[in-house]
Amino acid sequence: MAYLYLAIAIVAEVIGTTALKLSDGFTRPLASTVTAFGYGVAFFCLSLTLRTMPTGLAYAIWSGVGLVLITTVAWLFQGQKLDMAALVGMALIVAGVAVLNLFSSSISS
């Protein structure tokens, strides 16, 4: 169940961050409302995740997957350009999250 809550938290955070960009400094009410709702759902679900998952592991997954998803959304829908350094950097972050998940005993207990 923890991974399901974490997945919901990540998707909600990506929705909230996307809406934050569209809110234009909180001057657009609908996008501002979606931002607040998205972050609210994200933090609520993250809090449920942390009941059973170590904080370090949850945050590593949250930040790694969230970064890749929000960057992909920005690239697809907001015209963000990605150069080779950005792609390599994201790959390294994903690799780091994988190493933590697969090999680290310090955050998996």
Q: Which two tokens stand for residue 3?
A: 């991974």
Burial (CB count within 10 angstroms: exposed 0-12, middle 13-18, buried 19+), residue 107: middle
pLDDT tens-digit series, residues 53-108: 989 889 889 988 999 999 999 999 999 999 999 999 999 988 988 888 788 776 65
pLDDT tens-digit series, residues 29-43: 999 999 999 999 999
User: Quick one: how far is CA 59 from the chain centroid?
Assistant: 9
